[in-house]
Structure 1
Amino acid sequence: MARRLNIIRWLEYNWATPAYGGWVLIGIALSFFGAATNTMAGWLYVLSGTIFALLGLNMVDAGKNLKGIIIKRLPIYPVHAGNDLTIILSVGNATGKLKILIQIQDEIPAFLGKPVIHNLESLPPRQEIQLAAYIPTEKRGVYHWEYIILKTAAPFGLFYASRLCKIPAKATVYPQILPLQSCPLIEDIGNEELKQQESRPIYYSATEGVTKTIRPYRYGDAFRLIHWRTSARMGELKVRELETTTSGREIIICLDNSGKWEEDDFEKAVIAVASLYCYSLRRQLNVRVWLADMGLIHGITTVMETLAAVKSGVNMTASIPELPVIWVSCHSEKLNSLMPGSRCFLFTKPPFPYPGIVYNREESLLKQLQQPI
């Protein structure tokens, strides 16, 4: 049975295979032909020949209908979990003939949902159209897929022809970002650093609010920093990079992705790290993220792409920074090795009191990140 299905599939993707109606007509044509050989009735030969001609025409035209169709992918821009991915295909007809009744099936990963199907009634010659699909996302990740299937039964629906198009795609779903209004984990460390800065010479704060440079807008930049006059002149968004007293302060958020994690806990930990990172950026703090297998990373795009793909259960190969950090982990063994002034967000109860938060599955993550330490 499996061998027979493989043969039918090979015929469909390399030539054409009969649809249900096609099999019925083949049976009728064979019956007429058998009756004609027994009775020598000419009209039966004509009927069977006409049906076979109709079947042959559909079999040939179905394959021809898919020739000359050019499909391109437009870039798939990253989104945060909970938002829709926009997948756009550009479909062109490079021939001088009208293409009709075509189905385009984008084989997206099962994690993103069922294959996306577009049905085209017609595609005029030498023209190009765009087909958009909006895929809801629930979980972070970096998703790869390759194939698009073209399928048609034109013009009579008696034979199906399908063709595989290898067009690689990559979609990145960043972790969800929680709308933190306050965060004692960050602010507590920030306040300690601020006290240290107050003892420094006055000229350190003399440049606060002064524009250091104008640079292109990056995802996550505050809109109040946009320099509208320069943006209008250059034709793209430009933002001011300011000299502030916070530029010397450094926040390091450590995600201990080593060892064994509960899957749901690890997803919450990644969301927490991403939210803390974006909150620190809004506060204009110098913030970096540390991972057990990668060490320190920085930059909004690099951090978000790394957090989208990060996995638990790795071996710890990077050294813990010798600075006060925010330690996000399900293990408490490393607490003694953290620098004084560090804070923790733990998914297990520590054996001794330590400044920070212990995750409670009964409360929302947003509420816990904003609660006092």
Structure 2
Amino acid sequence: MTYLTSLRQFHGMKLLLTLALTLPLLVQAAEPLPSWNDGPSKKSIIEFVQAVTTEGSRDYVKPAERIAVFDNDGTLWSEQPMYFQVLFALEEVKRMAPQHPEWKTEQPFQAVLENDHKALAESGMDGLMKIIGATHTGITTAAFMDNAKTWLSQARHPKTGKPYTEMIYQPMLEMLDYLRSQDFKTYIVSGGEVEFMRAFAEQVYGIPPEQVIGTTFVTQFQLKDGDASILRLPKLAHNDDGPGKPESIQAVIGRRPILAFGNSDGDLQMLQWTAAGPGKRFMGLVHHTDAKREWAYDRESKIGRLDKALDEANTRKWTVVDMTSEWRRIYPFDAPATEQKK
């Protein structure tokens, strides 16, 4: 081996060693939350995460206690013009109608089949619960999951034409990833039905089924001809909305979150429960202000009303994310803005 060859090998090894040492630093230096404009919300998120994950900090929180909870509808994906699970239920009525000829003259099913929006609205919550009960229960959990996955794979949003699983917020996906990179455990805590959300949550959000908490029906184990299954009964077990959220967090997780994110009055008690714990806490609300790229609604909306929670957030200095000014990009399929909005 010549001296020149040895020298080249030495410099090659030196270069590889330098790359090995600097690449992790470059990754660490990569700015988190790239779809967020530099503003108060991004700043508060990053400062909070740094404070609770820096060993030696007075605000340091052990990884096992880094629990973050997120509402789903309106927080992780869109909820207009109607909650997506309700749209699923309406389509299920039409799919199941041949097996239920009585629905042609029975409300609220008749209204669904005839696309009579007025009659459907007049049926109110009682009518909606009849539709949910007919389409969500009386079958096994496996059968319901298959129905939900089939619909999600075929259905398209009426405004964008995109699959519902693409109507998710790119900035919130980045936040979930950022938190998990810092040893947070991320949960969904939503008023949506738990099995419906489990049909897509792991693939779309990276949140496994055991970390999805939602409204549940009473279930019953059954064994028929050696085949074991779980039957979904037409009786509500737990409404995971409002005060039901902190109740289910305690029952399922057993730890108070240190971070909670929602978008409506239905999330208020979850944020209050998080805020009431000791140490540093983060409470956030997504405020739908962008009528151009998404929808603008809050206090008067029948879907995702944000009224009392907005007042309390402003009073207690919680983080309120203004979609218009703070998100460079709404959905993954959007082109990112080239310049920050002023």
- Higher share of residues assigned strand: 1
- Higher share of residues assigned helix: 2
Bigger radius of gyration among the two: 1
TM over 0.5: no
TM-score by length of 1: 0.29
Which of the pair has the greater relative contact order for Cα pairs under 8 Å at 6+ separation? 2
TM-score by length of 2: 0.31
